[in-house]
Amino acid sequence: MIPREFFTQSPVECARTLVGCELVWGACSGIVVECEAYAAVGDPACHTFTRPSARQFVARHRAGTAYVYLNYGLHWMLNVLTKGEEEGFVLIRAIEPRRGLPAMQRRRGGKVGRALTGGPGRLTAALGVTGRHHGGDFCTTERRCFLAGEVTDVVADGRIGISRARELPWRFTLRGNDYLSAPLKKESRGHTPAAC
């Protein structure tokens, strides 16, 4: 199991190393194959940039706390608070199912493959993540992450689905994985940026 200290790295470092880890959520689990970093300071795409409540959340909670919110009135987004020298969040964008597949499919109306957990809103629906998990802890027996083998092929790419600061290479994916929420941007395909 990943110790809390893991989440005392910078959000970028945390996001990069979280790829390939297994996320356990109750009876279900999956390998994190895609996530994005958001910096609490100086990142126009981070909630802290415009939301006082998000800044308070960072100040009042410790590393490894779940930051869950509803987007577009429909989709729950699952983030982890990271607090190192730099503070911020890691948004979990896609997982590859490991345990509890039937339960996930039930929650998703029988969806399979990428449509099941390939997307931030899809994976929360599959795992049953909702606002009641906001402020919860990622370092418990019920919800935790652990290393699931050696991971070498992580690709850094620009973040997606946002309108600001898209150029930052803070989206991290497991190369070629079938469960990614979207393909890599054209200019990033085929090489691994120095950030890795």
Nearer to DNA, 152 or 163 (CB): 163
Q: Does 171 bind DNA (CB under 7 A)?
A: no
Smallest distance, Å, CB 142 to DNA?
22
Which of 16, 21, 25, 47 binds DNA (CB under 7 A)? It is 47
Q: Which of 162, 175, 188, 195 binds DNA (CB under 7 A)?
A: 162
72 binds DNA (CB under 7 A): yes
32 part of the interface to DNA, by CB under 7 A: no
- Does the protein bind DNA through residue 51 (CB under 7 A)? yes
Distances in whole angstroms, Cα of residue 130 to Cα of each of 27, 68, 133: 16, 7, 6
What 3-state DSSP class applies to 29? strand
Give yes or no for residue 91 binding DNA (CB under 7 A): yes
At its nearest, how many Å lie between DNA and the CB of residue 159? 7
> Are 131 and 69 spatial neighbours (Cβ–Cβ below 8 Å)?
yes
Cα gap 148→165, rounded to integer Å: 31
Instruction: Provide the CB-side half-sphere exposure for 123 (13 A, CA).
Output: 31
Supply the minimum distance, in Å, between the C-beta of residue 160 and DNA: 6
**Nearest CA among 56, 62, 66 for reference residue 25:** 66
Stretch that binds DNA, among 44-52, 98-106, 144-152, 172-180 (CB under 7 A): 44-52
Q: Coil, strand, or helix at residue 177?
A: coil
Interacting residues with DNA between 99 and 118 (CB under 7 A): 108, 111, 115
Based on the shown chain and the rule CB under 7 A, indicate whether residue 119 belongs to the binding site for DNA. yes
- Please list, in sequence order, all residues whose beta carbon lies within 8 angstroms of the beta carbon of residue 24, skipping any fewer than 6 positions away: 99, 142, 143, 144, 145, 146
**CA dist., res. 113 & res. 119, Å (int):** 11
Helix H or strand E segment including 101 = helix 101-107
Interface with DNA, residue 138, by CB under 7 A: no
Question: Footprint of DNA on this chain (CB under 7 A)?
Answer: 36, 38, 45-47, 50-54, 67, 69-75, 77, 79, 89, 91, 108, 111, 115, 119-122, 159-164, 181
